[in-house]
Amino acid sequence: MQARGPLMIEHRLIERMLNIVRNRLTLAVQNKTIDPLFVDAAVDFIRTYADRTHHGKEEDILFRDLNSKDLSAADRKVMNELIAEHVFGRNTTKSLVEANTRYRNGDAAALGDVARCLKTLIDFYPKHIEKEDKVFFPASRAYFSEDEDQAMLNEFYEFDRKMIHEKYKSVVDRLGE
């Protein structure tokens, strides 16, 4: 397996969670209510799995290693865009937490903010994932020898040993699509 393999596998689980969020958001808009505990679970998934686990491997390992390479201007530009997109996702998730807290505390108007944040995330992530899967990962592979790629893959596995993938797979399975 190439180093990008685990990242792409993680994208599939993130996409599954986004589908669940999309379905729950549709119901929330129709019913004019949302379960704050579901929003908490979605935030937990985004923060821990999508951001810390997945983006952590990208930023702490892949991007770090690419910074030591002579990247083309186009590839460096895409990498910088991806880093900025990670920050955008974090900021949107922070806004979601704030809106959900207001909603949970009785501010019915905060439902609109919760819905907007969820919609932003479910619109944002598929485009971000596509850019990584179809543009950046294939281009970045060219900068590494087979040995370097396998060393990165091993570092990803070591990184993951510290994470809790199974918990988040079970969260997605439990919440259903």
Q: Tens of pLDDT along 33-80?
A: 999 999 999 999 999 899 989 999 999 999 999 999 999 999 999 999
CA atoms of 17 and 46, how far apart (whole Å): 9
What is the rounded end-to-end Cα distance, in angstroms, of the chain?
Answer: 29
| For residue 2, pLDDT beyond 90 | yes
Question: What average pLDDT does the chain have?
Answer: 94
State which residues form the domain around 53: 4-175
Rounded to an integer, the average pLDDT of 132-157 is: 96
Tally of CB atoms within 10 A around 64? 12
CATH number, position 104: 1.20.120.520
The count of domains in the chain is: 1
pTM of the model: 0.90
Round to whole Å and give the CA distance between 62 and 136: 11
Longest Cα–Cα distance of the chain, Å, equals 56
Whole-angstrom Cα distance, residue 73 to residue 91? 27
> pLDDT by residue (tens digit) across 150-164?
999 999 998 888 777
What pLDDT is recorded for position 177? 66
26, amino acid identity: T
Q: Residue 19 — very low, low, confident or very high, per pLDDT cuts 50/70/90?
A: very high
Mean pLDDT along residues 102-118: 97
- Spatial contact of 34 and 28, defined as CB atoms under 8 Å apart: yes
Q: DSSP for 20-36, please give it.
A: HHHHHHHHHHHHT---H
* Residue 78 CA to its chain's centroid (Å): 17
